[in-house]
Structure 1
Amino acid sequence: MGIEETLPNDDDVEKAQAPPVVPQRITFRDDNKKDHVDKTSTGYAQRPHSRASISSSRPQSRSQSRSRSRARSISEMSIEFRRMSFQVEDSKRGEYISVDSSNESTNDTTAAGGGGKKVEDDSGGSFDNVSFHTLPAEILCNQLDANPDNGLSSTEAGARLARDGANTLPRPRQNYIVKLLKYIFGGFCSVLWVGVIIFFICWRPLGDPDPDPYNLGLAVLVLIVIFLQASFSAFQDWSTAQTMKAILDLLPAEAVVIRDNGQTASLKATGLVVGDIVKVSIGNKVPADLRLLSTSSDVRFDRSMLTGESEEVEGVTAATSHNFLETRNIALMGSMVTNGSATGVVILTGARSVMGHIALTTTSVKPQPTLIQREISRFVLIIVCLTVVLAALLLFTWAGWLRVKHAAFMDVIAMLDDVMGCVVAFIPEGMPVGVALTLMMVARRMKAHNILPKGLSTVETLGCVNVICSDKTGTLTENRMAVVTAAFVDETMPVSAATQLLEKDNSPAALRQLHTAAALCNDGTFDASTLDQPVMERLVHGNATDGAMLKFVESVQAESSSSLKAANREIFQIPFNSTNKWMLTLHEIKPSTTEFLMIIKGASDILLPRCTQYWSYKTNSIHPLDMSVTGQLVSQQQQQMSRNAERVLMLCQRTITPKQQLGSNAFSDEIQSAAMSDLCLIGLLGIVDPPRSETAATVAACRRAGVRFLMVTGDLGATGAAIARDVGIFSSGAREPDTFDTIVKRRLQGNNNSELEKNSESSESLVLEGPAISQLTAADWDIVCRYREIVFGRTLPEQKLRIVNEFRARDDNVVAVTGDGVNDAPAMRAADVGIAVASGSDVALEAADLVLLDNQLSSIIDAIRLGRLVFQNLQKVISYLLPAGSWSEIWPVILNVFFGVPLPLSSFLMIIICVFTDLFLALALITEREEFDLLALPPRNVKRDRLITLKIYIQSYLFMGVMQTVCAHAMFFLYFWRHAHIPFHALVFAYEGYSDGFYGYTADELAHFNTAGQSVYFITLVFLQWGNILSVRNKRLSIVQADPFFSKERRNLWLLAGAAVSLAIAVFVTEEPGIQRIFGTASAPIEFWFLPLPLAVGVLCMDEIRKLVVRMWPGGPVARIAW
């Protein structure tokens, strides 16, 4: 069909009258396929109004960090998409375009790597002149050397792949200058630069005419620290990107294509080439830019990743706009199929696609701070505020008192050295490194457990999850369905008996009708590569329900599915969707040309009220169906099958003589109307989907971990409840679960918060179905959300979304949603953590934050455990860093300024402790395994259980910090007593008295004593931190119960490596002559390398006593303040 009229602009298209809205997906099966969308006089299909479907609502209830990150990524891509679209519009505006089919084949310039021509690939206007969307499908396929029926041959596809390259997206351009500046000046480095400037000023000009190399050395040292931080940040970003890229590559990304003489096959999307014929259906991500060749009437594409618009667009086969980026007959790479199905030819791949152009031009999205990063920022803000207050106090004390009363004690340079040394050392430079490495290491551990976190923020959130809402089919069950029961109004039999009867020539007519209906009303097809295998082991293309029915049909050797379909050619179809819950097919009845056979399958509770007749198994004839009698029998039969954990599928038929013309909208309306009444019930099929072998253990582990495990399914509540009992969601031996009537009763009785626990007539279990969910009030939800065991049945996608939002809005719940289908995607997006199995639909994988690569539900338990381990280890790292890195470094400055004591610890040694000696041991803590069974603890409350709590401050400052400060000062004063014979009381309030002639020593000798004493203080802290790290690695257990060297479960030899490195650093900075000369360190007497060791043991023993008290008196005052 050529397009011979002048193309309208978008305004004209919008003003055109829209075609009638068809609420179901409709497919015409005719030799001359007709699009259901009317054509305008211009030759364009009218632009239809988008109609809502399962994911048209974009929930905004996500956690802020995730929603912002996703919003930014969509925003940046949509801005570039709009820029490109406007550019195409500008180039088209005012241009008279005449599309003549006789000229298009010779003038086309858009065959992007196709059969004969190449696309003009300039970044400025690469989509201005393309005509993929305006060419008739036949001409386009000819130009691309594509055959819509047979597809490409493997040889031709291989040649095109070698020529054009893989179907992969290019990386976005990076602004490396901005990234470099961020590494050097961002975060803590901005504060360190202030220190560098101050130290340089202290060196010159304040130090002139005799500048002290010490200040220059400090400035250079802090510069080294800055560049080390920047280098690590750069490496960490690169390493994280490589890690996430490696595990993201493990995600399945396949496409269903037609190749090699019409064979349907699945292959990796990266192997698609221009000219491939691709099938997409609900739940798929569009793998390349496609020109649609055939569509179902309700096919919908979610383009929000590209356009930023949440409204879905309908797919049609004719152009709706001259703008390639706006027309509806092009499915763009990255779009999601949220409803319906379509077939298209690949026109652009990889970098040539629209998504490829956007990927090349958009900048990378700035990641948002995670929960733990915000906790760290909160902690750092507190520390920085305290540091600023202390620095201001020191400055004002010097200016108002020391400068006046003790002018010779501390000059401007010494004061600035003390203040800036305190500020620089007090900032926990190792903290961001520890956080990043911890998250990255746990992400690697998750990969080893076949768990893919798409972002590091997911790792930490998992530890807070206390509610899991899980889909049933394919998640709790294997999604390997099999027909087990065939039932009629007056007979029920196992499928094995039905199969045996069907092999006989005189099989019952009702059973033959059921067998035929199962074959005809079925979209499943066997994969060609598995046809030589037994029927039950063959791979099926299609949904699991169709697959089960297809295998039931094919198990009867007397008559195959293909022969039944050939004898009853399908001409029309309304496929199943989650809203209607039924599927319809229309077939020819030979030799009649006016009568057609309608077959409908679907949910029994939906179809039974439409039935007026039924097939009798015993009489082999059709009888009237009385809803009060026969209908009741069918309902009882359905309930019994549901209680056996069977999905119940009803099959009905009707003969119809349509009055409207085949292929018209009126025809489709007539068929839909006929499907609403006067149906003949053929029978029921009971389909079993066995639970996964690990499901029961997973549910039990979640229950033990304090996580409620809820089922949200589209099946009947009775079916879901039966599975729930099998897998432990409903406790064994529990009474019958409560229902909606119970909720209403409680509402009328004035339920209070304790009603659920007090009411002896109540069960802990609840079963709610979709219609009841819609009737729940806010007060009802307060009751529902307190149940421990819940099955939500017959739920629609929007109801799943509401369930998630209602739980998240109450009791500080952190909700995870598991699923594998497109119906689960909205709820997964709204949840705090969306979890998908790798075998799930592309839409589910896109919506998920976490992917179970091995499809094992039990991996969720490992993910929760590792999420909790992250939080525990970070608390230990912080508790280790605070005593020496903050508390024990502040007190030397306080004693120096307020008590006139010679400075016990220099700024240089403060920096060495924070950045080097403490950091290596802290990194060893990152590798710690769990101290005790983390799954035995309740989930963390994100609002109450902070990363840094008052208990940690008490432990780190008032307990461990005080002991370390006292011990280190004791060693400092002991050194003066033993080697300078200067008593403690003489050093206190010495001020400017500590100068030439003090106790008969020269100024140089006194300076040596001071620097050696500082080295002693420094060495003592290094050793004391050994005792500290052995203490903090166990919150409750004794070191005897979990030692780091001989305990197999808790062995951590990295502690030895960290201790060795910190000792080597201590030796180097105190013994190296160059360091001594520049930074004023000195060799410590040999005994002070050994005296701190018993002090470290003493610190460890004191904490062991504290833990013992906590264990013996868990309700005592010590236990109440224990971290």
Structure 2
Amino acid sequence: MLISEHWHARTIKEVEEHLHTSLTKGLTRKEAADRLEEKGANSMPAPERDGLFMKLLNQFKSPITFVLVLAVIATSSLAHYTDALVISAALLLNIVMGLVQEGRASKAFEALKKGEAQYAVVFRGGEPLKISANELVVGDVVVLSAGNAIPADMRLIEVHGLTINESALSGEWLAVEKNTEKAGEESPLVERSGMAYAGTLVASGAGRGVVVAIGGDTEIGRIAVELGKKDESVTPLMKDIRQVAKLILIAVAFIMVGIFALGTARGLPFDETLFTAIALAVASVPEGLPAAVTVVLALGMERILKSGGLVRNLLAAETLGTTSIILTDKTGTLTEGRMTLESYVSLNEVHDNADKGEARTLLTAAVLASNAYVEERPEAEGDEKLVVHGRPIEQAIVLAGLKTGISQQACLSAYPRLDELHFDSARRFGGMLVQNEKNPVAYITGAPEFLLGSMSLVVGANGDAETLTDSMRTHFLRSLETAARDGKRVIGVARVEKDLKAFPPEKELLGYLGAGALVGFLIFSDVIREEAKSAIKDMQDAGARVLMLTGDNPETALAIAKIVGIAEEGERAYTGAELSVLTDAELLEVLTTHTVFSRVAPAEKLRIANVLRDAGEVVAMTGDGVNDAPALRAAAIGVAVGSGTDVAKEASDLVLLDNGFSVITSAIREGRRLRENFKKIFAYMLSTNFSEVILIGFALVVGLPLPILPTQVLWSNLIEGGFMNFAFAFEPLYPSAMKRSPKDPEIARVLSPKLIKLIVLVGSVTATILIGIYLFLLSLELPLDEIQTLMFVAVSVNCIFMAFSMKSLGTPLWRLPLFSNRFLLVSLIGSVAFLFGALYIPFLQVLVHVTEPSMLQLAILFGFGLINLATIEIAKWIFFIREPKESRILTA
């Protein structure tokens, strides 16, 4: 095992020798310059990305684009330049929409760079020097102080009450106390007290560290490498679109072979055969699908934004609707991520405020013991005028004091500080020595069980010390046990009155503390978000399981999980260490039967997301730290809270702008709405295309002229059908859709077997009516261009009216409110207007190859459109609506 793999497990001396540096003087300027030239700057590795050319090239892999390209080439070769121009316009539209959808616009690398520290103070040749963080090299000795962002991974060599907030990496938001001791080689990150990691923040105290890793070799750098890999994942909607495109390409191939075989057998001219093939190919392709998908997704994103969520990836909006498992962090998602002083345990009772008596004495003592400080910001407004800095528990104490009228500034004015004892995890207590009216008094905060076991005196109701009896200890212990069971955090408060102007040496501290008196205990909680419980219930009702993955301890995690409804009574919490020894199969079994996982390291989160994904689950993961970024990227849907790190936000698909957990529920609801509306779009477009293929195919088989030209098919599909397509984006969500499991085939797949049946049914009914109209027109012996014009009108009218039948796939049209989607009526007007424009505006007549029909002819064809609509509704009733509600494609 190389030393560079376990810096946390090496002594300071070993690190100094291995890195060829001086812990007192640092590197010389020449040594630093040589190392910078050899190893490069302290910056993150760049991610893999496709350039614009590759993205453009990828668009031609689409079968829809491929068919249209062939159509353009074929029509151009036949000198049908107008047709080629119209098809080219459709091709360009598909390419542009494809580019909009292309991949994930990953900016995680920029966020990582933005999150890096900008400057650092180092020792070069024994002299302090302020340099850019990018110029740090391995072996540099860096000075750390409160508020500093850690610029590189370091082995600590000197600490003075140093605490570091490592929530960005570990997920645990309480600041970690640091020392210079080595840890075990297999120690998890949260237990490496002798290390400071890039991307974390000094909460309090000061110290020095020697740089052991920079750039991509740091903990955060490894995450950058993972984020930089190209995302090859495929969303459910992409799978469905690819399936449709593949089927269309196969169908077009068979059609082309069949047409040329039939043309050869009949001795038809090549150009006539090719033009017929083009017409059938164009009729087979849902040209408006890419545009419809992009517009509908964009509108869905806009609706999610209004509910407080920013969707960064178009396709993610739809994928939300199929979410089957949500992996949620505790801090910042289920809770607000801030410590609140909840109650006060004194000798005689438990208080919920510190307005008077023993509780006020207890809070005053805690304020005097606190090392947190208040910063005034005159330019700010409201609560932001006063900002408290320090350890989260001490921040909560000072804030509680401010709210109760116990100002830290006033306390320190009355009782000046004489000395400070930094909290130490080995010693288990710390405090402040202040001067009161007569003698110095030390106010101590520390581990509750330790203080309770170390003291023989307690502060009574009158403020004087008295003997701490067994019954008093029992009273305190019961409160501590209740707090632990409920997932609360507790600290003890004590005072020591001795005529000393400074704290005694370390070896005498226990004896010094033993002469003091216990004042009481403070109970803290991380505030649970008000909406968390109801939001989780809504997700569970929608068939999504919610699992908690946190860096916190098992007791606290389980208590919070029970409160919000994730875990049930009797359930246990698994730790990351327990999960790490399981095989993937064993891990999947545990994930299936349990819901709470604590002390979970970043690598374990990523593994869990991958195991669930490989098991066929559609995974959404919430998080806010750098540690969450790889799993956010691996999950089908990454959800970052707005107060989280930029890294988490940029690796995610959905950002909760106001941190409200209910936004996830709203987003899932919108995802379901998008999926249901995509079903309508697929059913509408494919049934329209299917009817056109049957119509043209029939004419070809029986040897009749083309009933409709390629440009007319394009106009009908893109213009008339396009208006109606986009209106589906505004269809409301029916309540039953949020009560069905995401694994229900009708939810999990946009193109479900029942929907395919409906497409074939509707397409066949429409084609039968169109063929009847065509044969009738031929019997009138009208000119071919007039027949093709009237068939163009018939196909367009059917496109317009058929949209109303697709408004609900499981409910009769006459039972639906007419104005539930006013945009459908607006689209009706727009479609009819463009149809009349094509028929009566001269340059459009030339473009679409139509003649001017009479108003009587139009009225008759619109009548046939209504007959077709009624026929489709009857067919829907016979084949689908009579089924039980729970098994229908969609119910109102």
User: Is residue 223 of structure 1 aligned with residue 27 of structure 2?
Assistant: no
Q: Choose the corresponding residue for 2:71, options 175, 185, 195.
A: 195
Deviates more, 1:548-557 or 1:295-304: 295-304
Task: Report the Cα distance in structure 2 between the residues aligned to 1:179 and 1:445, rounded to whole angstroms.
Answer: 28
Task: Report the Cα distance in structure 1 between the residues aligned to 2:611 and 2:375, rounded to whole angstroms.
Answer: 42
Task: Report the Cα distance in structure 2 between the residues aligned to 1:540 and 1:589, rounded to whole angstroms.
Answer: 21
Residue deviations 1:361-391 (CA, integer Å, cap 9, x gap): x999788654312320121101211221222
Identify if the C-alpha distance between structure 1 residues 42 and 957 changes in structure 2 by more than 3 Å, giving closer, same or farther. closer
Identify if the C-alpha distance between structure 1 residues 1041 and 417 changes in structure 2 by more than 3 Å, giving closer, same or farther. same
Q: Choose the corresponding residue for 2:351, options 486, 491, 494.
A: 494
Residue type of the alignment partner of 2:642: A
Residue deviations 1:1067-1111 (CA, integer Å, cap 9, x gap): 2699956347xx5x4444543312222222223223434555688
Identify if the C-alpha distance between structure 1 residues 46 and 915 changes in structure 2 by more than 3 Å, giving closer, same or farther. farther
**Aligned match of 1:454:** 312
User: Is residue 699 of structure 1 aligned with residue 536 of structure 2?
Assistant: yes
**Aligned match of 1:323:** none
Q: Choose the corresponding residue for 1:397, options 224, 249, 262.
A: 262
**Paired residue secondary structure (2:573):** strand
Residue correspondence of structure 1 range 556-955 to structure 2 within 5 A? 556=406, 567=417, 569-570=419-420, 585=430, 601=446, 611=453, 613=455, 615-618=457-460, 634-641=476-483, 647-651=488-492, 683-709=520-546, 737-739=568-570, 766-768=571-573, 770=575, 782=589, 785-786=592-593, 792=596, 795-797=599-601, 801=605, 804-805=608-609, 808=612, 812-820=616-624, 828=632, 831-842=635-646, 844-846=648-650, 848-885=652-689, 887-932=690-735, 934-940=737-743, 945-955=748-758
Task: Report the Cα distance in structure 2 between the residues aligned to 1:818 and 1:933, rounded to whole angstroms.
Answer: 26
Residue deviations 1:304-349 (CA, integer Å, cap 9, x gap): 9xxxxxxxxx999xxxxxxxxxxxxx999xx63399888999xxxx
Residues 470 and 709, structure 1, Cα contact 8 Å, conserved in 2: yes
**Aligned match of 2:767:** 965
Residues 111 and 647, structure 2, Cα contact 8 Å, conserved in 1: no
**Aligned match of 2:272:** 414
Q: Choose the corresponding residue for 2:832, options 1033, 1051, 1060.
A: 1060
Residues 486 and 494, structure 1, Cα contact 8 Å, conserved in 2: yes
Deviates more, 1:436-445 or 1:175-184: 175-184
Q: Choose the corresponding residue for 2:200, options 324, 330, 337.
A: 337
Identify if the C-alpha distance between structure 1 residues 836 and 565 changes in structure 2 by more than 3 Å, giving closer, same or farther. farther
Task: Report the Cα distance in structure 1 between the residues aligned to 2:311 and 2:158, rounded to whole angstroms.
Answer: 37
Identify if the C-alpha distance between structure 1 residues 420 and 484 changes in structure 2 by more than 3 Å, giving closer, same or farther. closer
Residue correspondence of structure 1 range 977-988 to structure 2 within 5 A? 977=779, 979-980=780-781
Residue correspondence of structure 1 range 113-512 to structure 2 within 5 A? 128=37, 188-201=64-77, 203=78, 213-214=79-80, 216-231=81-96, 233=98, 336-337=199-200, 369-399=234-264, 403=265, 406-407=266-267, 410-479=268-337, 481-487=339-345, 491-494=348-351, 496-497=353-354, 500-501=357-358, 511=362
**Aligned match of 1:91:** none
Task: Report the Cα distance in structure 1 between the residues aligned to 2:627 and 2:414, rounded to whole angstroms.
Answer: 32
**Aligned match of 2:125:** none
Residue type of the alignment partner of 1:466: S
Task: Report the Cα distance in structure 1 between the residues aligned to 2:4 and 2:844, rounded to whole angstroms.
Answer: 84
Identify if the C-alpha distance between structure 1 residues 45 and 451 changes in structure 2 by more than 3 Å, giving closer, same or farther. farther
Task: Report the Cα distance in structure 1 between the residues aligned to 2:134 and 2:150, rounded to whole angstroms.
Answer: 16
Unaligned 5+ residue runs, structure 2?
Answer: 120-132, 136-142, 170-177, 181-194, 210-217, 436-440, 497-502
Residues 815 and 833, structure 1, Cα contact 8 Å, conserved in 2: yes
**Paired residue secondary structure (1:687):** strand
Residue deviations 1:1039-1079 (CA, integer Å, cap 9, x gap): 344345x34x6654442344235414642699956347xx5
Quick one: percent identity of the two aligned structures?
20
**Aligned match of 2:213:** none
Q: How many residues align?
A: 818
Task: Report the Cα distance in structure 2 between the residues aligned to 1:131 and 1:884, rounded to whole angstroms.
Answer: 60
Residues 343 and 352, structure 2, Cα contact 8 Å, conserved in 1: yes
Task: Report the Cα distance in structure 1 between the residues aligned to 2:691 and 2:401, rounded to whole angstroms.
Answer: 79
Residues 388 and 395, structure 2, Cα contact 8 Å, conserved in 1: yes
Task: Report the Cα distance in structure 2 between the residues aligned to 1:486 and 1:948, rounded to whole angstroms.
Answer: 59
User: Is residue 545 of structure 1 aligned with residue 388 of structure 2?
Assistant: no
Identify if the C-alpha distance between structure 1 residues 233 and 279 changes in structure 2 by more than 3 Å, giving closer, same or farther. farther
C-alpha deviation, 1:1034, in angstroms: 1.4
**Paired residue secondary structure (1:527):** strand
Identify if the C-alpha distance between structure 1 residues 548 and 439 changes in structure 2 by more than 3 Å, giving closer, same or farther. same
| Bigger proportion of residues as helix | 2
C-alpha deviation, 1:451, in angstroms: 0.7
Task: Report the Cα distance in structure 2 between the residues aligned to 1:131 and 1:1121, rounded to whole angstroms.
Answer: 59
C-alpha deviation, 1:1028, in angstroms: 0.9
Q: Choose the corresponding residue for 1:975, options 767, 777, 791.
A: 777
Residues 683 and 758, structure 2, Cα contact 8 Å, conserved in 1: yes
Residue type of the alignment partner of 2:480: Q
Identify if the C-alpha distance between structure 1 residues 881 and 688 changes in structure 2 by more than 3 Å, giving closer, same or farther. same
User: Is residue 1096 of structure 1 aligned with residue 865 of structure 2?
Assistant: yes
Residues 55 and 102, structure 2, Cα contact 8 Å, conserved in 1: no
C-alpha deviation, 1:225, in angstroms: 3.0
C-alpha deviation, 1:880, in angstroms: 0.8
Residue type of the alignment partner of 2:790: V
Normalising by structure 2, report the TM-score: 0.72
C-alpha deviation, 1:189, in angstroms: 3.1
Residue type of the alignment partner of 1:188: I
Task: Report the Cα distance in structure 2 between the residues aligned to 1:373 and 1:1036, rounded to whole angstroms.
Answer: 25
Task: Report the Cα distance in structure 1 between the residues aligned to 2:673 and 2:421, rounded to whole angstroms.
Answer: 59
Task: Report the Cα distance in structure 2 between the residues aligned to 1:425 and 1:856, rounded to whole angstroms.
Answer: 47
Residues 721 and 767, structure 1, Cα contact 8 Å, conserved in 2: yes
Task: Report the Cα distance in structure 1 between the residues aligned to 2:93 and 2:51, rounded to whole angstroms.
Answer: 21
Identify if the C-alpha distance between structure 1 residues 631 and 536 changes in structure 2 by more than 3 Å, giving closer, same or farther. farther
Identify if the C-alpha distance between structure 1 residues 344 and 198 changes in structure 2 by more than 3 Å, giving closer, same or farther. farther
C-alpha deviation, 1:1026, in angstroms: 1.8
Identify if the C-alpha distance between structure 1 residues 1094 and 687 changes in structure 2 by more than 3 Å, giving closer, same or farther. same
Identify if the C-alpha distance between structure 1 residues 295 and 901 changes in structure 2 by more than 3 Å, giving closer, same or farther. farther
Identify if the C-alpha distance between structure 1 residues 367 and 567 changes in structure 2 by more than 3 Å, giving closer, same or farther. same
C-alpha deviation, 1:1036, in angstroms: 2.7
**Paired residue secondary structure (2:523):** strand
**Paired residue secondary structure (2:748):** coil
Normalising by structure 1, report the TM-score: 0.59
User: Is residue 1025 of structure 1 aligned with residue 888 of structure 2?
Assistant: no
Task: Report the Cα distance in structure 1 between the residues aligned to 2:7 and 2:615, rounded to whole angstroms.
Answer: 47
**Paired residue secondary structure (2:272):** helix
Residues 885 and 891, structure 2, Cα contact 8 Å, conserved in 1: no
Identify if the C-alpha distance between structure 1 residues 625 and 1020 changes in structure 2 by more than 3 Å, giving closer, same or farther. farther
Residue type of the alignment partner of 2:710: S
**Aligned match of 1:206:** none
**Paired residue secondary structure (2:350):** strand
C-alpha deviation, 1:1032, in angstroms: 0.6
Task: Report the Cα distance in structure 1 between the residues aligned to 2:317 and 2:683, rounded to whole angstroms.
Answer: 21
**Paired residue secondary structure (1:637):** helix
C-alpha deviation, 1:1035, in angstroms: 2.0
Residues 304 and 310, structure 2, Cα contact 8 Å, conserved in 1: yes
